[in-house]
Amino acid sequence: MNVKRWVGRQESQWQQLEVLLSRAECQGLKALSAREVQQLSSLYRLVAADLSRARTRQVGVAVTEQLQGLATRSYAQIYQGGRRQNWQAMVDFISWGFPGAVQQAMGAVAIATTIFLLGAAVGWWYTWRDPAFMQLVVPSGIIELVQDKGQLWMGSIVGMEPLASSAIMRNNISVTFTTFAGGMLGGLGTLFVLWNNGLHIGAIATLVGQNNLAYPFWAFVFPHGALELPAIFLAGGAGLLLAQGILFPGRYGRLEALKGAGNQAILLMFGVVPMLVIAGIIEGFFSPAPQIPDSLKYLVGLLLLLGLVLYLNRQPPPPSA
């Protein structure tokens, strides 16, 4: 390894960490914006990796001591900042960190969303043109209930809301984490889950549309779907970030690139889980309730979707002087 070239390439990031640490040590972590706290954490992991490399490659006492000092100071700020700072970090993540992570990963999330929508379009098209295709995608019990009795299947939730809500949460969290973990297969697992779920939605949409049940069906889906579907898209984006770290590491080693992508992906998943919990509560208690007018369900779904869009587009306040 060319030590001078390596130091020259990494030194700017060490300096960025030094600047953030100086502010945090003088004013506390609360003086940093949510993005700067994330940056400090990310730079700490980079410096820790550089310190390990410096010790292994014997790059010199001065460089090793500099990295050791940065790593020790970073650890103190991140892990020993006190309970109050931990709570503040949590508030900052909810307020600004999660929206910032989504905005940074928007390219991957857009690709995940596109794959899902393409699957839905294919499912709708083939089911509409060839009813036999529906048999391959939609469970036979649902087809019989819709075609023979003209009924939707969500009524089974009524009367067992707590149990249904819990089961829905577990299932949705399982699906999203499968979507996320599929990124470790070079993204193939993620793409398959997104495509398959889109295919099912498209086929079911055709089924209910052909039997004049589209309006009540989407009235059921929209309230919780306004959070559940974006959560799946975000999990898909997180999975694609892992795939990017594996397949396109860039100037970093593949392991380092995967660690960096994994850190960004985990931030997305931290925000996805609460979205799924809220969506599960809505799907168990609100969406299937027969006493709630369908028009109100559409309105609630629209408000939730608009609120989510506004939240995810939030910009952090300027850093303190």
Domain span including residue 292: 104-312
Residue 99 domain-assigned (yes or no): no
pLDDT digits (tens, 9 = 90+) for 91-120: 777 887 888 889 888 999 999 999 999 999
Q: Has residue 86 been placed in a domain?
A: no
The angle at the Cα of 286, spanning 282 to 291, to the nearest 5 degrees, equals 175
**Which of 56-60, 98-102, 172-176, 307-311 reaches the highest mean pLDDT?**
307-311
What pLDDT shows up at residue 51? Answer: 80
Q: Are residues 64 and 118 in the same domain?
A: no
User: Looking at 71-80, 101-110, 222-231, 240-249, which range is the least confident one?
Assistant: 71-80
Q: What mean pLDDT, rounded, does the chain reach?
A: 84
Q: Are residues 111 and 38 in the same domain?
A: no
Residue 136 falls within a domain, yes or no? yes
pTM for the full model? 0.73
My answer on whether 77 and 110 are in the same domain is: no
Query: What is the pLDDT at residue 170?
Result: 81
Both 284 and 160 in one domain: the answer is yes
In contact, 14 and 70? CB cutoff 8 Å: yes
The CA-to-CA distance between both ends of the chain, in Å, stands at: 40
What are 241-254's pLDDT values in tens digits?
999 888 887 766 77
Higher pLDDT: 228 or 14? It is 228
93 found inside a domain: no
* Residues 32 and 119 placed together within one structural domain of the fold: no
Amino acid at residue number 110: A
Q: What is the average per-residue pLDDT within 195-221?
A: 93
Is residue 297 domain-resident?
yes
Q: How many CB atoms lie within 10 A of CB 44?
A: 21
39 and 108 together in one domain: no
Whether residue 208 sits in one domain with residue 72: no
| Number of separate domains in the chain | 2
Considering the domain architecture, whether residues 137 and 230 belong to the same structural domain is answered as yes
Does residue 318 fall inside a structural domain? no
Is the same domain home to 234 and 304? yes
**Domain ends where: 50, 81, 112?**
81
296 in the same domain as 181: yes
CA dist 61 and 305 (Å) reads 55
Are both 178 and 125 inside the same structural domain? Answer: yes
- For residues 158, 163, 164 and 168, what is the CA-based torsion angle, rounded to 10 degrees? 160
Let me know if residue 97 belongs to a domain: no
Same domain, yes or no: 143 and 249 = yes
